[in-house]
Structure 1
Amino acid sequence: MPSSSDGAAGAGDDFASRVLAVVESIPPGRVMTYGDVAATLGSRASRMVGQVMAYYGAAVPWWRVVRASGHPPANHEHIALQHYRAEGTPLLGGGDRPYRVDLAAARHDAV
């Protein structure tokens, strides 16, 4: 998803470093929403989590952070699907409909 490949090294900012640490802790086959990541940090800044992921998230498992609907990061659906299948992440839909992650089955509680 992210354009930067330097990961946490380029983040510098404490919030960004904390976001990346939470994302790194999500186990294979599980996901968190942008809001879940923010809440784990005691914040409501889900859009800021998205910005951190866009700029610094290339070195972490970015596909494990999804939209509140369960849809993967925008414009990265195809590559994310490969990761989900490899990790056995529970999915809904597909075929003629866009797929999404089954949040009821795959949501990770980092607390």
Structure 2
Amino acid sequence: MNLQISGHHLELTPALREYVITKLDRVLRHFDQVIDGSVVLSVDNHREKDKRQKVEINLHLKGKDIFIESCDVDMYAAIDLMVDKLDRQVIRHKDKIQGHAHATMKYAPQESEAPAP
């Protein structure tokens, strides 16, 4: 998987980079058909009182693109929220792909052609 991690109005430390990578490994455990992804960590400085830490991810899966964003006061908490949302979305997508809504004709019950007495 090609993963691009960048920071916007934020210095991307090796600790933050490693934390994002280890958290995203949880997603790869459930679904291994991830093509690539981009993560943007940013700080919203518009309000002086509460600086909002924001995490965005755009993940390209086989057959679908998923975009998730989460905000929190703490960057690590925002990453955790983002990974939880992403994990639910990926599991839902995997269930849709692997779900067998219709039974095959091979195992369908057959009606007997002989008339009933």
Per the normalisation by structure 2, the TM-score is: 0.26
Greater share of helix = 1
Identify, as 1 or 2, the structure richer in strand.
Answer: 2
The structure whose Rg is larger is 2
Instruction: Give the TM-score normalised by structure 1.
Output: 0.27
Greater relative CO, 1 or 2 (CA 8 Å, sep 6+): 1
